[in-house]
Amino acid sequence: MIHCNSLVIRYRTPRYLTWSTMLGAVSIVVLGAPASAAAQTAPDSAVGRRRIQPLPTLGSAPESGLQFGATVLAVVDRPAMDHARPASLIATAIRSTKGQTRVSLEGEHWTRQNGRRLNALLAWQKFPLPFYGIGDSTPAGDKEIFTPKGVEAIAGVQQRVRGH
């Protein structure tokens, strides 16, 4: 697929979203209305099929230590007549042993015949990291903790301009 210019919008602002707002968005993903029986048994119907899967999140890095949390993956299959990839929504909440936190909601949607891809990310983070300065020769005594906090929003559009 050939894509023309991708549009990416980045917006960062400190603490506009509260924990309750982000957890509310995660709750909607987890506790969303159940898919109808017709949608689950007949993926070729006009409705499509929806799957929601909670997953544990575990990781490790020298800067963050042990990271733990949860991810909820929601996938909606498109009707067969659309010939499109499934749409997805991913909600993630991660906390590290060094006091770092990140909560995000990310989605992707393909139009009929995969002609256009729409994607978006909304994240809140409080992620303290050590900063020593610029260059390899900065002494360890120059260490200071830098804590980026705030909201990040990214939206993207890709358009197919011709066939394969």
Could you tell me the pLDDT band of residue 53, with boundaries at 50, 70 and 90? Answer: very high
**Ranges of each domain in the chain:** 7-29+49-159
- The lowest-confidence range among 18-22, 71-75, 93-97 is 18-22
What are the tokens at 43? Answer: 């993926």
Determine the pLDDT at residue 94.
95
Does 144 score more than 70 pLDDT?
yes
What are the tokens at 65? Answer: 């230590």
Looking at per-residue pLDDT, the higher value among 79 and 66 belongs to: 66
- The lowest-confidence range among 37-51, 76-90, 138-152 is 37-51
Distance CA 127, CA 99 (A): 8
Query: pLDDT (tens digit, 9 = 90+) per residue, 106-132?
Result: 999 998 888 899 999 999 999 887 888
Looking at per-residue pLDDT, the higher value among 111 and 148 belongs to: 111
Greatest mean pLDDT among 45-54, 116-125, 142-151 lies in 116-125
Distance CA 83, CA 91 (A): 26
What DSSP assignment string belongs to 149-163? EEEEEEEEEEEB-S-
Mean pLDDT score of the chain, rounded to an integer? 75
Q: Full-prediction pTM beyond 0.75?
A: no
